[in-house]
């Protein structure tokens, strides 16, 4: 999945059945994210959102690193690059929010190190499956950057205040076992087991009832942000109880067979 290509490109989207994969593709600069990549990422996320046949997405990188973060040259030339959109593309924060709010669950396949803003992109995903040689660092304070609000909120809500303070206020690099211990990694695996595990998880999620999965994801993210729309969650729960998917799930349970869901 992470084979090198002849030249760097903007992120690549592939769709195989119900599974979409977005791959960052600048391996020689450790998949550094350029302004053009934000535009491409936003377009890919919009395409996934609009395709009802897609039930799960994977975000990964080409080569030995997941991503070295946002291009510092653009940040130096345009200090608002993280939070302010430009005429030819969105802001980094905007793409992160779009990723977090994606209709379908997202698995981050962490094939290597993850640094800077890309640590937040991974936190926007619902699962982070990483190799046991991975590491992470958040250098914002070391560079003089006060991080954008939604990114700090994700850090605290996903990892807890103590872990967020350590990562933001010390800019220390932590290794995969500590990433697992603080909850940054959902699972830690040897490199040779990564693809099989990510694929198995994606297929498991894709086989579940999409209305229920997508509704529950939305509600859980709202709870984590402390902006839970209880009325909206209740409406989604009522809709699921009236769905054909629920009838199919109960029938499959009675008949001791795998259910076939259609998202309606």
User: What sign does the CA torsion over 158, 162, 168, 170 have?
Assistant: negative
Which CATH fold topology does 12-206 show? 2-enoyl-CoA Hydratase; Chain A, domain 1 (3.90.226)
Find, among 32, 57, 61, the residue nearest to 47 by Cα. 57
* Global pTM value: 0.91
Q: What pLDDT sits at residue 12? A: 97
Q: Where are the domains of the chain?
A: 12-206, 210-255
Buried residues in 193-208 as b, exposed as e (16+ CB within 10 A) = ebbeebbebbeebbbb
User: What sign does the CA torsion over 237, 242, 245, 249 have?
Assistant: positive
Q: What pLDDT sits at residue 4? A: 53
Quickly state the pLDDT bin for 194 (edges 50, 70, 90): very high
Question: What are the pLDDT digits (tens) for 201-243?
Answer: 999 999 999 999 999 999 999 999 889 999 999 998 988 888 8
Quickly state the pLDDT bin for 248 (edges 50, 70, 90): confident
Question: What are the pLDDT digits (tens) for 75-112?
Answer: 666 666 676 777 777 889 999 999 999 999 999 999 99
Say if residue 261's pLDDT is above 90: no
């Amino acid at each position: 999945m992470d084979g090198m290509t002849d030249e760097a490109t903007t992120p690549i989207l592939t769709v195989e059945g119900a599974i979409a994969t977005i791959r960052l593709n600048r391996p020689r600069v450790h998949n550094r994210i350029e302004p053009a990549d934000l535009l491409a990422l936003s377009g890919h996320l919009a395409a996934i959102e609009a395709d009802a046949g897609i039930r799960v997405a994977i975000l990964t990188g080409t080569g030995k690193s997941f991503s070295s973060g946002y291009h510092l040259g653009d940040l130096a030339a345009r200090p608002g690059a993280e939070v302010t959109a430009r005429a030819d593309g969105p802001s980094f924060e905007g793409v992160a929010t779009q990723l977090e709010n994606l209709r379908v669950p997202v698995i981050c396949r962490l094939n290597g190190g993850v640094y800077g803003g890309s640590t937040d992109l991974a936190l926007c995903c619902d699962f982070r499956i990483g190799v046991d040689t991975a590491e992470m660092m958040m250098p914002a304070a070391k560079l003089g950057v006060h991080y954008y609000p939604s990114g700090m909120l994700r850090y605290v809500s996903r990892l807890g205040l103590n872990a967020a303070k350590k990562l933001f206020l010390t800019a220390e690099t932590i290794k995969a076992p500590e990433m697992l211990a603080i909850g940054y990694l959902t699972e830690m695996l040897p490199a040779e087991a990564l693809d099989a595990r990510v694929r198995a998880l994606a297929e498991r999620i894709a086989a579940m009832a999409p209305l229920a999965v997508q509704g529950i994801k939305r509600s859980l993210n709202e709870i984590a942000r402390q902006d839970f729309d209880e009325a909206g969650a209740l409406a989604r729960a009522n809709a699921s109880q009236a769905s054909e998917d629920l009838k199919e799930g109960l029938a499959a349970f009675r008949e001791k067979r795998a259910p076939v869901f259609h998202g309606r």
